[in-house]
């Protein structure tokens, strides 16, 4: 039985790799492949990649790869959507994990083996880019060798020309020149956390027995949370709304994706018929609700657009290829990880619901490439929760707990053992 199970797993893995290679073929010319296979430097031993990171902004973005030996590489430009592919020979990824957020001109990236002795890094671009320069910084002290790419924006025509030209042979990066170091990380070098105060404008959300409105509770909480995160200096908080304005669910998701957010946290405070239900609750996305209460809350929150007089539009179909599925799966795994950490930190500071982590099909959590959770601060239908939600002391304690969970999560989600600058 054990042997049969092992054989089944091996076949599944082989099938997965075969499909991945077929769905994203290597477009490098034969000369590039020959250089990869026959490179004397690469044939001696694998090159170890220790970390990867992005710095800069949309005027100039830098991609840095930490490794033990300067590698040869091939570049591919791909359109629809815009991507830049870096093919590397004989590489072993020893430490880094894929970022869930981008920087500047790069929406995000992923990496892995695509064939024996061949590794690939795929950079997803926000638009057409050009490689301004590439160079290598030699090892110095505790710093490893660093392969550096500098990107700038360009026209669609120039990008198409670069794609048509291809890369006929493996390239070797030049040495760093004076002035090649970025002078400042800038605000874009920190991970962005999007805080979404639920409801707003014409959509007031739930109302308490004493007239307190959900849209006001969530905005006050979001502002205080953003202030704590901003003071901490480890993340860049972005609010989906700064005042009493209406945003559709699709607009809230779009803000998170446009900012290449490392995390989206949507803040709410609902009501239920059962007045005894109380306490903070953390929700993650699932098409099948964990219980009837979660299903009812999701259905009510998903009707926000209807209440504001908007037509219901189906979400656009996403490209259902393997890479997209991997991104979506990774986002959901990260959402679960953050939810567990948030429940732990929040539970040490405020009262939680008897089932503090639940699952339901909230539309606002459906960004495929942004880890997302929905935080119910409490229930305005419960007199104790309503009193707490009006308390500045409670809000200070709860926002500090949420900020702590966010900073721990973002730190863990960043590539392991690397710094955010050169």
The confidence score (pLDDT) of residue 167 equals 57
The confidence score (pLDDT) of residue 90 equals 79
Domain boundary residue, one of 145, 175, 205: 175
In a domain, 338, yes or no: yes
The confidence score (pLDDT) of residue 326 equals 55
Number of domains in the chain: 2
The confidence score (pLDDT) of residue 17 equals 38
In a domain, 97, yes or no: yes
Q: What is the largest CA-CA distance in the chain?
A: 77
Domain shared by 254 and 340, yes or no: yes
CATH number at residue 319: 3.40.630.40
Domain boundary residue, one of 141, 175, 209: 175
Domain shared by 122 and 82, yes or no: yes
Domain boundary residue, one of 175, 206, 227: 175
The confidence score (pLDDT) of residue 411 equals 75
Domain shared by 153 and 216, yes or no: no
Per-residue pLDDT of the chain (422 residues; tens, 9 = 90+): 433 444 344 434 443 333 333 333 333 333 333 333 333 333 446 888 888 888 888 888 999 888 888 888 888 888 888 989 888 887 877 766 555 468 889 988 888 776 666 788 888 899 999 998 888 888 877 778 889 999 999 999 999 888 887 654 455 555 444 433 333 333 345 899 999 999 888 788 888 888 889 999 999 999 999 999 999 988 999 999 998 888 888 888 889 988 888 899 999 988 888 888 888 888 888 767 656 666 676 676 656 655 444 444 444 444 344 444 556 677 788 888 998 989 988 888 888 888 888 877 778 788 878 898 999 988 888 888 888 988 899 899 999 999 999 999 887 554 333 333 33
Domain shared by 120 and 251, yes or no: no
DSSP strand pairing (83-89 vs 118-125): antiparallel
In a domain, 211, yes or no: yes
Cα–Cα distances in angstroms (integers) from residue 102 to residues 46, 49, 192, 264, 327, in the given order: 28, 19, 9, 14, 13
Structural domain boundaries enclosing 163? 27-175
Q: With contact defined as beta carbons under 8 Å apart, do 373 and 267 qualify?
A: no
Q: What SS3 class is residue 58?
A: coil
DSSP 100-150: SS-BTTEEEEEEEEEETTEEEEEEEESS-EEEEEEEEEPPBTTB-EEEEEE
Domain shared by 163 and 254, yes or no: no
In a domain, 183, yes or no: no
Continuous segment of H or E residues that includes residue 55: strand 47-56
Cα–Cα distances in angstroms (integers) from residue 368 to residues 221, 313, 343, 363, in the given order: 26, 17, 23, 11
The confidence score (pLDDT) of residue 364 equals 78
- What is the three-state SS of 179-213? CCCCCCCCHHHCCEEEEEECCECCECCCECCCCCE
Domain shared by 208 and 305, yes or no: yes
Domain shared by 75 and 164, yes or no: yes
The confidence score (pLDDT) of residue 257 equals 86
Domain shared by 209 and 266, yes or no: yes
Domain shared by 171 and 194, yes or no: no
Domain shared by 156 and 246, yes or no: no
In a domain, 14, yes or no: no
CATH number at residue 138: 2.60.40.3500
The confidence score (pLDDT) of residue 393 equals 92
Nearest to 150 by CA among 265, 66, 74, 55: 55
Q: With contact defined as beta carbons under 8 Å apart, do 223 and 239 qualify?
A: yes
CA triple 414-14-123, angle to 5 deg:
35
Domain shared by 249 and 103, yes or no: no
**Residue 266, both tokens:** 């949507």
In a domain, 22, yes or no: no
Stated pTM of the model: 0.52
Nearest to 60 by CA among 4, 136, 133: 133
Q: With contact defined as beta carbons under 8 Å apart, do 49 and 56 qualify?
A: no
């Amino acid at each position: 039985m054990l042997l049969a199970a092992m054989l089944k797993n091996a076949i599944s893995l082989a099938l997965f790799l075969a499909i991945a290679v077929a769905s994203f073929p290597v477009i490098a010319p034969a000369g590039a492949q020959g250089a990869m296979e026959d490179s004397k430097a690469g044939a001696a031993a694998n090159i170890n990649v220790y970390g990867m990171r992005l710095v800069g902004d949309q005027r100039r973005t830098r991609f840095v790869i930490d490794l033990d030996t300067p590698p040869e590489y091939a570049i591919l430009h791909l359109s629809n959507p815009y991507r830049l592919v870096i093919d590397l020979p004989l590489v072993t990824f020893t430490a880094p994990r894929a970022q869930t957020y981008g920087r500047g001109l790069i929406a995000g990236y992923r990496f892995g083996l695509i064939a024996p002795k061949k590794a690939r890094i795929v950079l997803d671009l926000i638009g057409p880019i050009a490689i301004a320069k590439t160079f290598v910084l030699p090892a110095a002290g505790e710093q490893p060798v660093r392969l550096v790419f500098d990107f700038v924006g360009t026209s669609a025509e120039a990008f198409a020309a670069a794609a048509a030209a291809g890369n006929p042979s493996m390239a070797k990066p030049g040495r760093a020149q004076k002035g090649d170091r970025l002078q400042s990380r800038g605000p874009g070098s920190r991970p962005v956390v999007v805080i979404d105060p639920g409801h707003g404008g014409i959509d007031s959300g739930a109302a308490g027995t004493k007239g307190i409105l959900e849209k006001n509770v969530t905005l006050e909480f979001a502002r205080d949370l953003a202030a704590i995160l901003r003071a901490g200096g480890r993340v860049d908080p972005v609010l989906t709304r700064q005042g009493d304005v209406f945003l559709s669910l699709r607009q809230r998701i779009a803000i998170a994706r446009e900012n290449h957010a490392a995390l989206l946290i949507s803040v709410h405070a609902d009501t239920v018929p059962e007045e005894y239900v109380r306490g903070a609750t953390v929700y993650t996305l699932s098409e099948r609700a964990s219980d009837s209460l979660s299903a009812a809350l999701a259905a009510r929150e998903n009707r926000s657009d209807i209440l504001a007089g908007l037509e219901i539009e189906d979400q656009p179909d996403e490209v259902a290829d393997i890479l997209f599925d991997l991104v979506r799966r990774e986002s959901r795994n990260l959402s679960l990880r953050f939810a567990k950490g948030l429940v732990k930190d929040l539970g040490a500071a405020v009262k939680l619901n008897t089932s503090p982590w639940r699952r339901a099909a909230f539309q606002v959590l459906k960004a495929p490439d942004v880890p997302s959770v929905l935080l119910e601060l409490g229930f305005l239908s419960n007199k104790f929760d309503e009193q707490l939600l009006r308390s500045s002391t409670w809000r200070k304690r709860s926002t500090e707990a949420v900020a702590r969970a966010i900073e721990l999560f973002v730190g863990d989600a960043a590539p392991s053992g690397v710094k955010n600058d050169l």
